[in-house]
Structure 1
Amino acid sequence: MEIRKLEAFLTIAATGTFTEAAEKLFISQSSLSKQMSQLEHELGVRLFKKTRNGVELTQAGYDFNSYAHRALPEYRNAVARLQLYREDNKYPLIVGALPLTDEYGISDCFSSYWVRNTSVQIEFIERSQENLIDKLRRHRVDLALIRLDLLDEEFDSTPLVTDELMFVCSVRNPLASLSKIDIRSLRNQQFIMLEQKSDITQLFQRACEAAGFFPSMPLHHSRHNMVIKAVQRGMGVSLLPRRLITTAHASDVVGIPLQDPLYSTLGFAWLADKPLNEVAQNFVSFIAEHLHNNTEKEA
C-alpha cells in the first residue's frame, strides 16, 4: 500500500468530496478516483459511498480511517528520524508561516538560526491561516507560524508574541481624533478586513456580536498591507494588530486602541499527535529565545 493513497484517502474523508480533495492534493479528480479504486481493490472493501453532496465513509471506511490516522503520522515521523542517519548530515524541516515574519522581526530570527545550523535543510512557505492549518493536518508541514487564538486541542503550540488589536482609519475620518474607541460606536462603519477565516476577523466579529451588532465587511484581503492601502484611500476602516500598523509607516492612517482591548497571539503550532522531532524542537526553542532577547533589547 502506498503512502500517497493513505494521504488521498484521509483528504477525501476530511473534505467529503473528490473534487475538493483533488484540489487540495493538486492532482486530477480522475487520478484520485483511480487511487481510491486501487486502494479498495487492495483491501477488498468499499471505503466510500455516494451521497447527494459528495461521499461519506462506509463502516469499513470508518475502521480504516482510524488506522490511516495512526499510520500516516507514524510513517512521517519514522522518515524524519531516519534523516538523522543520512551521510550528508542534512536534516529536513518544513516550516509554514503567515506572511508577517518581517513585521514581527521573526525573519531576523530565522536568518540567525540558518547561519548557526547549516545542516538543517529548511523549506519555508508562506500561506494563509486556513491553508497552513490544512497543511498541518495533512502532514505537509512540520510546524506553522500562525495565530493561536482559536486553535483547538488538535494542536500543541508555543506562543511567541501577543499583540493588541486596534481600530484603523484614515486621518480624515471623524473618529481619528479619539484616544480610545468603544466597539459599539463602530456599528455603522464599513470594514475592510483580512480574509473571513483569519483569527483577526473572527475575533473582531465575535466582539461585535457580543456588543449587539454584526459588522459590515464588504471587502476582504489576505494581505494586511493591502488592507491598510484601502484604508488610506478612504474605502473604509479596519481592525489590525498594532505591530502591523506601526511597521506599515503610513502617516495618513491612525491606530486607536479599543476601550475593551482585544489581543491576538502569534506562535508555532503542530499536531498534538505528532510530537516534534529534535531538530524541530531546537528550531522552535531558538526562535522563541532569540525573539525574546531582541524584544528586551528594543525595550
Structure 2
Amino acid sequence: MNQHNIQYFLTAVEEQSFSRTARKYFVSQAAVTQQIASIEKELQTVLFIRKNNGIEVTEAGLYFYEKIKKLLEEYREISGNLRRFREEKPETLLIGVSTLQEYEWLIPCLKKFSETDKRTGFQVRAGSPGQLRDMLKNGKLSFFLSDNPIFAEEDGLEALPAYCTGISIIAGTGSPLFDKEEIGIEDLKGIPLILAEAERRDTEWCDFEFYRFCRSAGFVPEVSGHAASFLEAVILADEGKGVVVYMEDISGRYRESPFRKIRQLKVSVCMQKFLIHRRKEENPDLLRLLKYLSGAERSHQKIGRADLKSDFGVLWKEALKQEDGSYSRRLLDDTAEIDFWHRFMEKKSIYRQDPWAVRMSGVVTELIRDMRPESILEIGPGWGNYTMDLASICEEMYCLDLSPDVLDYIKLWAKKLNKPEIRTILSKWEDYEEDRTYDIIFAYNCFYRMLHLRECLEKMNRMAGKLCIIGMGLGEVENYYREMEKALQVRLAYDKKDYIYFINILYQMGIDANIQIIPLSKDITFQTWEQVVQYGTSCLYERQAEMNSHGPEIENILKKYFLRKRDGSYHYRYDYRGTLIYWKPAG
C-alpha cells in the first residue's frame, strides 16, 4: 500500500463511485479499480461490492476507511512536525563540479547567496560527470554542474540552465588558423580536430555536442582524436596533429606562447551549462539555491549571467533557410501549407499514436497532471500524437492550427475514441489574438513555419497561466551520411533547426527554462531496395547528380547500415532524442 492507492480508496468511499474518483485525480477508471484491487489483495478482504449501477462499501471497507483515514491524518501531522525539525537544523549542501571554470563560476555565486541565507552551508566535490551523476543518484550529492543535459534522461533527474560559456581553440604554428585573430565555426571545416579533456567528460556527448555546433554551420567536423589533459592537448597541437577544441572558454586560464594561440571560437549558438538535480526534490534550502543559481532571483547583469551578444531570433531565421539561402514555399505561403496537410490527412484513415510519441506523451502528461489544469491549448497538433492524452487530463482541450483538415481529423477521432469534446481554433499562432489565458500551452515539432520565434514564445509566455511546454525532435546526422561525405565529398542538406535556439531566446527574454532530453528510436522497415535508396539519399543536396556520379559507391555504403531480413525486406534503426523545454510563465 502507498499514499496514492489509499487516497483513491478514501475518495471512492466518499464519492461512492470509481468513475468520479478517476475524474477527480485525472486518471482512468481502470487505474483506480486496479489500485483498489491491489489493496483488497494485500488485505485479503473485499472492501467494495461491485454492482451494475455503481459500488457499495462493505462493512469491512467502512471499518478500514475510518481507521486508515485517522492514520493518514496522523502521518501527515508527524511529517509536518519532522519537516519543522529539519528546517531548524542548518543544512549542508553537497555540490559537484568537473571543470575549473564551473568551480570559478560557482564559488562567487555561493558567497553572494550566503549574504542573504547564512544558515545554509556548502561543500564542493570534484569528479568526472559520470562520477557526479552516480553520486547524485545515490544520494551523496545535492546537485552538480554539467554541460550535458542528457543526464536528465536518467529517471528522476532534471536539468536547469546555469550559465553560458564559449568554445576555445588552440592552434599550433603549423596550423592554418595560427595567424587568424578571429576564428569562426566555418574555419574548422576540413581541418583535423582534437577534442580536449575527454577523460573528464562523457566523450560520446562531447562529440555529439560539437557535431551539433558544426552541423549548424553546414558541415561534419573531422575529429581525429581526443586529449585527456591540457598538457596532452598542447603536445598534440605543437606536433601538428590538429587544432584542439575545448568545449568551454579557457582563454583567461592559460597563457599563449610563440608556438601556440588560444582563441575563443565565434559560434552562432551558446554553450550552455546546466544544474543537474533530482526532479522531485523537496529540500527547501536546495530548491532556494537552485532557483537562485538558475537566475530567477538575480538581474541578468549580476554575477554568472552571460551577456549574449548574438540575436538568437535572427540566428533562428537563418537556421530555417534552405541550403540555397531561401525559405521553403510552405514557410512563406499559407496556401501551400494548407494544401500539404490536405493531401497528407487524406491518407489518414485511422488514428494511431506513433510509437515514439507514446513515451514523449507520457513525459508531457506527467509534467502536467499534478497541476490539474482546467484548460490546455495545443499549437499545431498534427495527427494528434499528444492531443488525446492531453484531453484526458483537463476539462477544456483546445487545438490551434491553420489546416481545417487537421482540425476536422482531431475532432472526428476524439469523438470516435470517446474523448472529451475538443475545441478547435482555425488560425496561425502568429495571427492568433485572444484576451484570455490557458493553464497550459503546449507546442511540439510545429516551429518550422515560425519565422519570428521570439514573438511566438513571448505570446505563449503571456497567454499561459501555469506552464509552457515546447520541444522538437533532435537527431545526429546518420553515420552513412557522414561516411558518404568523407569518402565521396558529397554535399548534404542539413536540417539546422535546433532546440538550443529556444533555450537562448528564452534566456535573452529573462526566462530560465527547464529541459528534458528523452532518448527515442524508430525501427523502420522497407519492402524494396529502391525504397532504401530513396530514404538513404534524401538529404543529399543534389541527389540526382550525386547518384549519377557515385551511385554504386553510395549503395555500397547504405548496405552496411540497412540490414536485409529473411523475408527480403530491409531494416534500419534510427536513434535520436526528443527535447522538452518548459517554464512557468514570467511577468
Q: What's the TM-score, normalizing by structure 2? A: 0.31
For 1:185, the aligned partner's letter is G
Aligned to 1:128: 128
Change (3 A) 1:286 1:191: closer
For 1:268, the aligned partner's letter is L
Change (3 A) 1:290 1:172: farther
State the SS of the aligned residue for 1:294: coil
Q: Does 1:105 align with 2:81?
A: no
State the SS of the aligned residue for 1:282: helix
Change (3 A) 1:232 1:162: same
Consecutive unaligned residues of structure 1, counting only runs of 5 or more, are: 1-77
Confirm or deny: 8 A CA contact 2:168 2:250 kept in the other structure.
no
Change (3 A) 1:298 1:203: closer
- Following TM superposition, by how much is the alpha carbon of 1:266 offset from its aligned partner in structure 2, in angstroms? 0.7
Confirm or deny: 8 A CA contact 2:247 2:271 kept in the other structure.
yes
For 1:176, the aligned partner's letter is F
Give, in whole Å, the separation in 1 of the partners of 2:173 and 2:306: 32
For 2:283, the aligned partner's letter is N
Q: Percent identity?
A: 13
Give, in whole Å, the separation in 2 of the partners of 1:296 and 1:91: 26
Q: Does 1:173 align with 2:175?
A: yes
Consecutive unaligned residues of structure 2, counting only runs of 5 or more, are: 1-77, 309-587
Give, in whole Å, the separation in 2 of the partners of 1:257 and 1:174: 15
State the SS of the aligned residue for 1:177: coil
Q: Does 1:139 align with 2:144?
A: no
Change (3 A) 1:176 1:103: farther
For 2:224, the aligned partner's letter is S
Confirm or deny: 8 A CA contact 2:164 2:305 kept in the other structure.
no
State the SS of the aligned residue for 2:190: helix
Change (3 A) 1:290 1:243: farther
For 1:294, the aligned partner's letter is I
Confirm or deny: 8 A CA contact 1:242 1:255 kept in the other structure.
no
Confirm or deny: 8 A CA contact 2:193 2:242 kept in the other structure.
yes
Q: Does 1:194 align with 2:201?
A: no
Of structures 1 and 2, the larger Rg is shown by: 2
Of the three residues 181, 189, 193, the one matched with 1:184 is 189
Confirm or deny: 8 A CA contact 1:204 1:239 kept in the other structure.
no
Give, in whole Å, the separation in 2 of the partners of 1:135 and 1:141: 6
Aligned to 2:271: 264
Give, in whole Å, the separation in 2 of the partners of 1:279 and 1:286: 11
Aligned to 1:253: 261
Confirm or deny: 8 A CA contact 2:237 2:244 kept in the other structure.
no
Aligned residues: 215
Confirm or deny: 8 A CA contact 1:106 1:291 kept in the other structure.
no
For 2:134, the aligned partner's letter is D
- Following TM superposition, by how much is the alpha carbon of 1:233 offset from its aligned partner in structure 2, in angstroms? 4.5
Q: What's the TM-score, normalizing by structure 1? A: 0.57
Higher relative contact order (CA 8 A, sep 6+): 1
Change (3 A) 1:215 1:149: same
Give, in whole Å, the separation in 2 of the partners of 1:189 and 1:243: 17
- Following TM superposition, by how much is the alpha carbon of 1:111 offset from its aligned partner in structure 2, in angstroms? 2.2
Change (3 A) 1:279 1:232: same
- Following TM superposition, by how much is the alpha carbon of 1:159 offset from its aligned partner in structure 2, in angstroms? 0.6
Q: Deviations over 1:90-119 (max 9, x none)?
A: 113222122334675322112233454332
Change (3 A) 1:105 1:142: closer
Give, in whole Å, the separation in 2 of the partners of 1:271 and 1:161: 19
Aligned to 2:96: 96
Change (3 A) 1:290 1:250: farther
- Following TM superposition, by how much is the alpha carbon of 1:294 offset from its aligned partner in structure 2, in angstroms? 2.2
The two structures, once aligned, show a CA RMSD in angstroms of 3.9
- Following TM superposition, by how much is the alpha carbon of 1:206 offset from its aligned partner in structure 2, in angstroms? 6.0
Confirm or deny: 8 A CA contact 1:148 1:159 kept in the other structure.
no
- Following TM superposition, by how much is the alpha carbon of 1:280 offset from its aligned partner in structure 2, in angstroms? 0.3
Give, in whole Å, the separation in 2 of the partners of 1:126 and 1:82: 32
Moved more, 142-151 or 95-104: 95-104
